[in-house]
Structure 1
Amino acid sequence: MGISIALTATSMIGAALLPETASQGQRELQRYFDVTAESSLPAWWMTSLLLAAALAHASAGFITRLGRLRGAWCWVLGAAGFAVLSANEHALLAQRLETLGAALAAVTGFPRPVLAAAVAAGLLMATALALLAYRERRRTRWLLAAGAILLAGSTAAGALTQNLVAGGATGFAGAGSVLADNAGWLGRAAGALLLAAAAMSTMSVTRSREGVRVCHRRAGPRAIVTASVPAADPREEGVPA
């Protein structure tokens, strides 16, 4: 979270200090730290955070499946959703699909088919997260709820701010727009971290003489060892037994 805060502060300071007569090199440097710019350092960091959330949810689904518990598909669905969000952050899939959406609308006559598919996928993902929050422990439940609210709320607020700026709304230009963009970016970063932490909180990792044991915290005695990595033999490392 410290890196996210530092990137947000750098982005805001850069936008505030950049003079109107800045050179091309100065503008390129400021753009490199701008949270709204494509292929910037904050964009790469957000891509990594969402990918980490996807990997954490995939691991939780794997452990849940090995523990023969219900809800593994919810974790896997969440992992797929965060992987798509990570790809969108990196490649701006939403903007690139607008052309495809216009072509599909012309053929099918259905207005904005890509948006409709995205809304349906979002509702399905929200349902999966709600089921997980219902089934998991209290700590996981609160992490899921807080992460989902932050991620979805910040994304929606960012889109609303962009529409207001495009419409010329008073108070959403200049410093107001910069502040809203950076606050929204930081909220999404915090949401991704909380969702990754929610998935990791379901796992219990213990080390013993037999190796590293990983199991789901709700599995109990029936799944004491769900994944095992053998411990290194000291003799293989040249250490006397």
Structure 2
Amino acid sequence: MIYPESRLVGRIMVISTVLTFVSFAVAVTDPDRDARNELARWLDVLGENSLPTWWSTALLLTAAFACALAGAAARAGRVVGAGAWFTAAGLVGAFSLTELSGVHRRLGGIGRLVLGEGVLTRNWFAVAAVLVPVLVAVLVVLGARVGTPARGPLVAGGVLIMVSAVGGEFVAAVLGGRTGPATAPVLAAHLGELGENAGAALVVAAALRVLVLSGAGDVLRVRHRTTFGDDGDGVPVRLTGLWLGLGGVSAALALLSLGFVLADPAQPLLRDLRLFVDLLVEHNLPTWWSVALLATAALVHLATFLVARAAGAPEARFWLVTAGVLALLSLDDQSQLHERSEQLGRLFVEETGSFPFYWLIPGAVAGVAVAAAVVALAVRVRARARALLVGGIALMLATGLGLEVVQGLFMAAGNEGLGFAVGYHVEELGEDVGVILLIAAALATARVTGGRSLTLSYADRRAPLPDPVPARQGASGGS
């Protein structure tokens, strides 16, 4: 049977293949990574701060989001397997963190701390060789819990993610290192990255196979395919816990980072841990959290666009615009597009002293464009959503641009002490809170209700809840 989500998987693989091919072409034609221009570096799937690495991270986050939605639908429909879907979401989310931060390369140090010096702790491959079979066994159990037809793609996708992530780098290392200059290890590393994307696509397909989406009037309903029974009027879903959770994680990460920065531990393992949580250091836990928040905001705004379009709301297309803007901001947060524009900023003003942030000049122009997109939506929605939209984008720009100027002045003066440290922690926390407000704006407009399914209704419009029309016929049940 050919499932409708096959087209989505096909499109994902086309994008992934194109990005991998372009990256491999760059590696072959320009093997000296240090001599490449900024565009070539930005297209390198094996490098940091690049478009392909953001795509991989975002794809894994989308797969985790899809699994979480499948779990929520299963729980709402009282279907067995909700916990399995939530566990799968956690595992895939952990791999997205690995993709962005390279935390797997720190496994050797963790292994030495726990097991001492030995064969298993010389590098992260040995630790991974122990963890991967365990995780594969967990995936098999999860697949049994979610039932058919999701079992196959969920297990296959999860195994492919793990085998590609470890195998690609291992083969590249055996052949001489994934940075070359030989072609074989570079090809192996690229194939490993492509395999991770294919695995993420299969996990997305697995989640979509158990979900049935139906829409009529002003509502969209998502339910588990084996759910039976009437929803009734539906019960509004309270989102207080969501806001407390998102805000609490952001605040906790900021405080954890500040504590390590001020303590400045000398012990090697603690110093590694500081690098992993320091907000000023790229490719770490706080960066991943910011990228994940922005990606989640983009997905939520996209969902709001879908329900607004179903409701016939004239402002629907503006939700699609803000979804795209948030996705671009997520790309910027991981690939440092704003910092790459520093040379562009220097073209407009004469360099003065040692001020380090000339990207703020083109960044301010981009900020105006982002603000304009959000304001164009804000004037078309209800008062509460308008306040959240304006407050969210104002907080993001004030902290992301305004406090960045302050940080630049601190650095130009050679003062990177307590004030500088507190400043950049407030900046990052403010940006995260701004993104949370933008998520809240969408969910304040798209009303969420739960019964035996999850239902989105747009604004205050009312219409009878539709009966779901299965997206496919003849699919076998199971849970």
After TM superposition, the score normalised by the length of structure 2 is: 0.41
CA contact (8 A) 1:212 1:228 kept: no
Report if the CA contact (8 A) 1:34-1:40 is conserved.
yes
The answer to whether the aligner puts 1:12 opposite 2:255 as a matched pair is no
User: How many equivalent pairs are there?
Assistant: 219
C-alpha deviation, 1:226, in angstroms:
7.8
Question: Percent identity at matched positions?
Answer: 29
Q: Name the structure 1 match of 2:337.
A: 93
User: Given the two structures, how large is their TM-score scaled by the length of structure 1?
Assistant: 0.78
- C-alpha change, 1:137 and 1:59, in structure 2 (3 Å) is same
What's 2:441 paired with?
A: 198
State the alpha-carbon separation in 2 of the partners of residues 116 and 157 from structure 1: 12
Equivalent residue letter for 2:455: R
Q: Displacement of 1:97 after TM fit?
A: 4.6
- Counterparts of 1:146 and 1:71 in 2: how far apart (Å)? 19
Partner of 1:188: 431
Cα RMSD of the aligned pairs, angstroms, is 3.0
Q: Which string of whole-angstrom CA distances, capped at 9 and with x for unpartnered residues, describes residues 50-97 of structure 1? A: 111111111111111111111122111111111111111112122235
Contact map agreement 1:134 1:141 (CA 8 A) in 2 = yes
SS at match of 2:455: strand
Shift of 1:203: 1.2
User: How do residues 142-157 of structure 1 correspond to structure 2 at under 5 angstroms?
Assistant: 142-157=387-402
Change in CA separation of 1:125 and 1:219 when aligned onto 2, cut-off 3 Å:
farther
Gaps of 5+ in 2: 1-246, 350-358, 471-476
* Shift in CA distance, 162/117, structure 1 to aligned 2, threshold 3 Å: closer
Q: 1:227 to 1:14 in 2, by over 3 A?
A: farther
Q: Is the 8 A contact 2:294 2:327 kept in 1?
A: yes
SS of the residue corresponding to residue 201 of structure 1 reads helix
Q: What is the distance in 1 between the residues matched to 2:340 and 2:252? A: 30
SS of the aligned residue for 1:135 comes to coil
Q: Does 1:82 align with 2:326?
A: yes
Q: Secondary structure at the match of 1:153?
A: helix
Select which of 127, 134, 152 maps to 2:379.
134
Equivalent-residue separation in structure 2 for 1:11 and 1:229 (angstroms) = 49
Cα separation, 2, equivalents of 1:43 and 1:157: 19
Q: 1:81 to 1:142 in 2, by over 3 A?
A: same
Taking a change above 3 Å as real, the CA distance of residues 98 and 195 of structure 1, as seen in their structure-2 partners, is same
**Residue 228 to residue 194, structure 1, CA distance change in 2 (3 Å):** farther
Q: Does structure 2 conserve the Cα–Cα contact (< 8 Å) formed by 1:213 and 1:227?
A: no
Cα distance in 1 for residues equivalent to 2:361 and 2:402? 19
State yes or no: 1:48 paired with 2:278.
no
Q: What's the CA shift string for 1:175-203, capped at 9, x where partnerless?
A: 00000010111111111111011111111
> Hey, what's the Cα distance between the residues in 1 that align with 2:315 and 2:430?
27
Shift in Å, 1:151: 1.0
| Structure with greater Cα Rg | 2
1:43 corresponds to which letter in structure 2? T
Contact kept? 2:341, 2:362, Cα under 8 Å = no
Which one of 359, 368, 387 corresponds to residue 123 of structure 1? Answer: 368
> Does the 8 Å contact 1:165/1:173 carry over to 2?
yes
The C-alpha deviation readout for 1:77-134, integer Å capped at 9, x for no partner, is 11111111111111212223556x59xx7xxxxx59x978755553333223223222
